[in-house]
Chains A and B, each alone.
Chain A
Amino acid sequence: DPAMTQTPLSLSATPGQPATISCKSTESLLHSDGKTYLQWFLQRPGQAPQLLIYEVSRRFSGVPDRFSGSGSGTDFILKISRVEAEDVGIYYCMRGINPKTFGRGTKVEL
């Protein structure tokens, strides 16, 4: 089965400083249509997850531009340019090609 590996699993961030999360897939996420289906979600404490980034680098509506995604094939990165208090939570990457598979999550604390 395909797997998504996130690192680190836990991150202590400093407000105003950058933070980076890595996500590696055991299979290429490049689809035959030319798009790469890798999504990032944030689950704040006590809330449902929310979409941050889709197709590697496209920010979802309303997502601050301090969030950015990059990568290709099997290796991807989510970067927060300047961490804010509201960024605390668990970040998940997910392959959008079936079987849709989430990473284990990265817990970000201040």
Chain B
Amino acid sequence: EVQVVESGGDLVQPGGSLKLSCVGSGFTFRSEWLGWVRQAPGKGLEWVASLSGDGRRIDYVDSLKGRFIISRDNARNSFYLQMNSLRDEDTAIYYCVRDVAFGRFDSWGQGTLVTVSS
């Protein structure tokens, strides 16, 4: 069974940093694109970024370029989202997704909550 599981969500102060993790199983991890999608409380879905299986191709939503960095460690079947200079509006549930091709997000984690507040 294909599965992705996020962790690392927490309460962080504005201006702070946080790193989210996602562990994948049930598929050939190094071969698959992975991505992050977030959802602010009571709001819709927003794609954040996607990363190719070999880590060489990265796509970000323009509004988050420079503050958020995605990476992966295929030896550990792990995928990460480093979030810097956090703002109140970054408060959201962050979902890890397997991106089979061009946004075919066929597996979603349960989400991890990031709260940015003083």
Contacts and interface: CB of A to CB of B under 8 A. Distances in A.
Interface stretch (B16-24, B77-85, B99-107): B99-107
Interface residues of A, number: 28
Interface string A79-110: 00000000000101011111111111100000
Interface residues of B, number: 21
B44 A101 contact: no
A10 interface: no
B30 to A, nearest CB: 22
A76 interface: no
Interface of B: 35, 37, 44-47, 50, 59, 61-62, 95, 101-106, 108-111
21 contacts: A31-B102, A35-B102, A37-B102, A37-B103, A39-B104, A41-B45, A48-B110, A49-B95, A51-B105, A54-B104, A55-B104, A92-B44, A92-B45, A96-B101, A99-B61, A100-B61, A102-B44, A103-B44, A104-B44, A105-B44, A105-B45
